[in-house]
Amino acid sequence: MKCLLLLPLVLLGTVSALYLENDASHLGSRETQADLSQDLEGSGEQEGELALNYGVLESEEEDAVASSYQDAFEDEGAMESDPAALDKDLQCPKEEDTIQLPGGPGCKTCRLLLVQTPTTFWEAQSVCRKCYRGNLVSIHNSCSNYRIQVSVSRINKAQVWIGGFLKGRFCWKKFHWTDGSAWNFVYWASGQPRNGCGHCVALNTRGGRWRRARCKTRLPFVCAF
């Protein structure tokens, strides 16, 4: 009789235990889903921030590349300008804006003229050609470079144009002189020309070292004729 009374109680306890275990399992599943949902939301926010930052960096890199291409494009455009168009409105410098420089030892009859009026590279070349029947000066040895540097150091300008310019595209770019003479001497400043910007060559009035510069920069210049 006692066994018969205990049997329902045992069955009731077993069913209750199974119900509690099943409920706990569902509760754990709901908590796990909630945690996963929060993790996914957090992950989505982080991915969004990373994507935004990457987009900003990508945009900045594109702007920098575009700026460098724009500089190169402007220099190339200046180099390919029509000489006739440059000569059309060209006015020869006034005598008071020029300084006669001594010729080099290798060419005592050569005349050098410093034009103090700041001008773009190709406009300066046009002035040398049209007004003096010459070209921007080419330099072929250290002695000539020193004499020019000493002569132009008297003006209150950091740089002057000389006749060097970069021509060609990609791996075929080479420096040339506007008078067509051989490119057989260089006196670059530290890091130049590799780290320089621009397709034209300027001489520093302090020290005489050369630097690349954008051709549209306005500088005094030296003509040789």
Question: Which residues make Cβ contacts (< 8 Å) with residue 60, sequence separation at least 6?
Answer: none
What single-letter DSSP state applies at residue 93?
P
Tell me: do 50 and 97 sit in the same domain: no
Tell me: do 11 and 99 sit in the same domain: no
Tell me: do 21 and 129 sit in the same domain: no
Per-residue pLDDT of 87-144, as tens digits, reads 667 899 999 999 999 876 556 567 999 999 999 999 999 999 999 999 999 999 999 9
Tell me: do 45 and 155 sit in the same domain: no
Tell me: do 166 and 186 sit in the same domain: yes
Tokens describing residue 180:
């067509």
Tell me: do 51 and 123 sit in the same domain: no
Q: What is the pLDDT of residue 86?
A: 59
Tokens describing residue 209:
């070292």
Query: Residue 165 in contact with residue 112, Cβ under 8 Å?
Result: no
Query: Residue 195 in contact with residue 204, Cβ under 8 Å?
Result: no
- How many domains, the chain? 2
One-letter amino acid of 11: L
Q: What is the pLDDT of residue 171?
A: 81
Question: Which residues make Cβ contacts (< 8 Å) with residue 3, sequence separation at least 6?
Answer: none
Query: What distances in angstroms separate CA 106 from CA 205, 210, 218, one per listed residue?
Result: 22, 21, 30
80, 97, 123: which is the final residue of a domain? 80
Tell me: do 66 and 109 sit in the same domain: no
Q: Look up the domain containing 65 and give its range.
A: 1-80
Low-confidence ranges of the chain (pLDDT < 50): 1-12, 15-71, 80
80, 109, 124: which is the final residue of a domain? 80
Cα 62 from Cα 56, distance rounded (Å): 10
Q: What is the pLDDT of residue 210?
A: 98
31, 58, 80: which is the final residue of a domain? 80
Q: What is the pLDDT of residue 116?
A: 96
